Structure 1
Amino acid sequence: MESLNIPKGVRRVLFRTLNTDRKLMWKKGDLSYVGFTEDGAQWLVDNTDIKLVGIDYLSVAAYDHLITAHVVFFKIPNIILVEGLKLDDVQAGIYMLHCLPLKLVGSEGSPIRCILIK
């Protein structure tokens, strides 16, 4: 995580990983997807100003760290996790991000439409 050099003040980061290159969103049962470990999540929380973490798979947490990585993020009440992003044609860079969630009463999450503007 440290090698990404995420500048202070950056509040939203989307991670386009090998999940996209391997087209894992379209394959069933592949548990080798890229996601956060507990240490990686903790580093991000402790060393950046990030309030939104997005990733190109169904979970921000690696399979072997499903609970522990999520717990790190959920300890910070104002961090939003966005999972299942389609980032096939998105190049690294700075974008404006708009996330449009459905308003679901009594729910802890919602399907959303995310829009990136270069």
Structure 2
Amino acid sequence: MVRWPDNPPVEIERTLDMERGDVANVSRLSFGSHTGTHMDAPLHFVRGGDGLDLMPLDATVGTARVIGIEDPVSVKREEIEPHGIGRGERVLFRTRNSARRWWTEDFMEDFVYVSEGAALYLAEREVRTVGVDYLSVGGFHEDGVETHEALLGAGIWVIEGLELSGVEPGGYELVCLPLKVANGDGAPARAILRKLEET
């Protein structure tokens, strides 16, 4: 499974095995807290910030908007301003990352990320949640720390590693539930989108 270069690898070990005479199968899972589809808590980049165990469920359960991004480098303020993003919104950005089916490939350094300027704009707009279709909201070569600090410092909950290849821009019902890890800086999550009916 693709992972951020300095994060722990994914390891799955069968510790009890019925084929070896055990009464049940039990496995040990080992991986970093920011592996695959996962969430970032403010604590990830904010000293003394909230952990995932303090995340209110309405941060990731409710209506969400998927916004298509054309810029091949980053999500920029100029591209998202016309969408009229409002206070309390949950916004998910679908970029060229999704077309690359990145989860089956080696780590790519040139993924589309949220620029610091766009992150500051989203913080100004007081959005509730931001989701992206790669392993980080911030870039690998630039705006990595700055984007995380802008979003998480504003109390915005972040979903990373979304698989949006078959998702069109528009309104959806979002259910994204991370593992409730005490004082967790991040944790794996299962994210589900259901298209809202046109009215």
Deviation at 1:9, TM superposition (A): 4.5
Give 1:68's aligned residue: 146
Take 1:74 and 1:105, find their aligned partners in 2: how far apart are those partners?
A: 18
Alpha-carbon contact 2:94-2:164 (below 8 Å) kept: yes
Give 2:119's aligned residue: 41
* Percent identity over paired residues: 35
TM-score (norm 2): 0.54
Q: Which protein has the bigger helix share? A: 1
Query: Residues 71-90 of structure 1: CA distance to partner in whole angstroms, max 9, x if unpaired?
Result: 1112112x100000001110
SS of equivalent residue, structure 2 residue 149? helix
Take 1:65 and 1:2, find their aligned partners in 2: how far apart are those partners?
A: 17
Take 1:106 and 1:62, find their aligned partners in 2: how far apart are those partners?
A: 25
AA aligned to 1:32 is D
Which gives a bigger RCO, structure 1 or 2 (Cα 8 Å, sep 6+)? 2
Alpha-carbon contact 1:24-1:33 (below 8 Å) kept: no
Q: Which protein has the bigger strand share? A: 2
Take 2:162 and 2:170, find their aligned partners in 1: how far apart are those partners?
A: 16
Alpha-carbon contact 2:152-2:158 (below 8 Å) kept: no
Aligned length: 116
SS of equivalent residue, structure 1 residue 110? strand
Give 2:69's aligned residue: none
Query: Residues 50-79 of structure 1: CA distance to partner in whole angstroms, max 9, x if unpaired?
Result: 1100000000112211111111112112x1
TM-score (norm 1): 0.88
Deviation at 1:99, TM superposition (A): 1.1
Which structure: larger Rg? Answer: 2
Give 1:90's aligned residue: 167
Are 1:117 and 2:194 matched, yes or no?
A: yes
Give 1:81's aligned residue: 158
Are 1:25 and 2:103 matched, yes or no?
A: yes
SS of equivalent residue, structure 1 residue 72? helix
After superposition, the CA RMSD in angstroms is 1.6
Higher mean alpha-carbon deviation, 59-68 vs 17-26, is at: 17-26
Compared CA separation, residues 115 and 49, structure 1 to 2 (3 A): same
AA aligned to 1:35 is Y
Structure 1 outlier segments of 4+, above 4 Å: none
Take 2:116 and 2:85, find their aligned partners in 1: how far apart are those partners?
A: 21
